[in-house]
């Protein structure tokens, strides 16, 4: 199998160089690396260079740049049978690619559509007896909010994030920082650029969930990597108000799209919104609370406008 790695990047030259170096040191060298540079002042012609033993293709995306669109551009510019997406702020351990490819090569029935690796520099959550931590986890469970779990989605549309254990398992959610798919899937699926207006909060959740309805997604603990969350050029620079508002809008879009005409999921979603509000009140986080209420108002206003038309 030919392997392409796609790295979408913006304003992180040091992180990108470190990531590419880890790619060139793989025990299984990828056939190509496609780097999509977002937010450029102008669109430049693609370029190709040799970095160590790896050919690297550079694609330039003019501002404003959105991750979903850049991922789709990367797919169109790649040629591998297996397409691996990694964030520019990750460092792959030397057997990451070989372990991911092994999963697909051993899948004789071609039932596996996607796979993801294990982030090893984020410790596995430990149980704690502190009152605050127990209460926080209880609220997350009661209100069907995103939490650590088995990699599957809750009725509210919130994911349970894999706990990075050492046991392989089938999952519904693949993390955008270290996910891989068979090339033929992109004849059926694309990253939904409708998430552009929601600041890309749940695009990887949406894509991996849709794939899981037709194929198996699997967690590969032996495909290890480190993820150093960079504060540069990410939504981490957004205000708590904006982040809360866009979280509500994006999650509503995901539920409405993937669980249509199902009252159970709609009720569960709005129950989770109540949970977000309860959390914000308990933390006395006024900015987050204002953002959540603004997101709710945006959804209500949007529904009224659709009714008028």
| pLDDT value at residue 4 | 97
Q: What is the pLDDT of residue 127?
A: 47
- pLDDT of residue 5 exceeding 80, the answer is yes
Q: What is the pLDDT of residues 149-199, one digit of tens each?
A: 899 999 999 999 887 788 999 999 999 999 999 999 999 999 998 876 655
Model's pTM, two decimal places? 0.90
* Number of structural domains found in the chain: 2
Q: What is the pLDDT of residue 248?
A: 94
Residue 134 belongs to a domain: no
Tell me, yes or no, whether 220 and 242 share the same domain: no
**Structure confidence at residue 232 (pLDDT):** 66
In this predicted structure, what is the pLDDT of residue 309?
Answer: 44
Q: Do residues 104 and 181 both lie within one domain?
A: yes
Say yes or no: 105 and 81 in one domain.
Answer: yes
| Residue 70: per-residue pLDDT | 92
Q: How many CB atoms lie within 10 A of CB 106?
A: 8
Is 104 among the domain residues? yes
**Alpha helices per DSSP H over 235-285:** 240-258, 263-282
Q: How confident is the model at residue 92 (pLDDT cuts 50, 70, 90)?
A: very high
Taking only the tens place, the pLDDT of each residue in 262-282 is 789 999 999 999 999 999 999
- Whether residue 250 sits in one domain with residue 106: no
CATH number of the domain that residue 45 is part of: 3.90.550.10
In a domain, 249, yes or no: yes
Q: Are 33 and 23 in contact (CB under 8 A)?
A: yes
Same domain for 227 and 252?
A: no
Among 234, 253, 272, the domain-final residue is: 234
On the question of pLDDT at 123 being above 90, the answer is: no
In a shared domain, residues 106 and 248: no
Distance of CA 19 to the CA centre of its chain: 18
The whole-angstrom separation of Cα 29 and Cα 101 is 11
Q: Which domain holds residue 198?
A: 3-124+164-234
Output the pLDDT for position 214: 96
Q: Does the residue 133 lie in any domain?
A: no
Residue 135 placed within a domain: no
**Same domain flag for 28 and 95:** yes
d(Cα 46, Cα 48) in Å, to the nearest integer?
Answer: 7
Q: Render pLDDT for 47-71 as a digit per residue (tens, 0 to 9).
A: 888 877 778 899 998 877 788 999 9
């Amino acid at each position: 199998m030919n392997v392409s790695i796609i790295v979408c990047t913006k304003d992180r030259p040091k992180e990108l160089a470190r990531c590419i170096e880890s790619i060139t040191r793989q025990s299984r060298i990828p056939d190509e690396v496609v780097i999509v540079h977002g937010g450029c002042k102008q669109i430049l012609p693609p370029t190709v260079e040799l970095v160590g033993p790896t050919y690297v293709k550079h694609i330039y995306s003019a501002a404003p740049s959105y991750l979903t669109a850049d991922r789709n551009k990367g797919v169109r510019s790649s040629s591998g049978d297996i397409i691996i997406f990694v964030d520019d702020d990750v460092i792959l351990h030397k057997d990451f690619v070989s372990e991911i490819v092994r999963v697909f090569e051993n899948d004789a029935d071609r039932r596996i559509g996607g796979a993801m690796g294990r982030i090893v520099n984020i410790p596995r959550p430990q149980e704690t007896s502190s009152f605050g931590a127990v209460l926080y986890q209880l609220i997350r469970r009661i209100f069907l909010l995103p939490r650590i779990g088995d990699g599957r989605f809750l009725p509210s549309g919130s994911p349970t994030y894999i706990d990075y254990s050492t046991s392989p398992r089938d999952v519904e959610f693949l993390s955008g920082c270290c996910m891989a798919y068979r090339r033929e899937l992109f004849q059926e699926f694309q990253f939904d650029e409708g998430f552009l207006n929601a600041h890309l909060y749940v695009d990887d959740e949406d894509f991996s969930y849709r794939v899981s309805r037709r194929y198996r997604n699997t967690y590969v603990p032996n495909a290890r990597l480190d993820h150093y969350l960079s504060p540069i050029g990410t939504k981490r620079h957004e205000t708590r108000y904006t982040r809360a508002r866009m979280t509500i809008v994006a999650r509503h879009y995901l539920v409405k799209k993937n669980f249509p005409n199902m009252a159970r999921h709609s009720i569960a979603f709005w129950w989770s919104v109540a949970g977000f509000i309860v959390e914000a009140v308990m933390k006395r986080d006024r900015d987050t609370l204002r953002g959540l209420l603004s997101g709710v108002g945006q959804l209500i206003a949007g529904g009224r406008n659709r009714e008028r038309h």
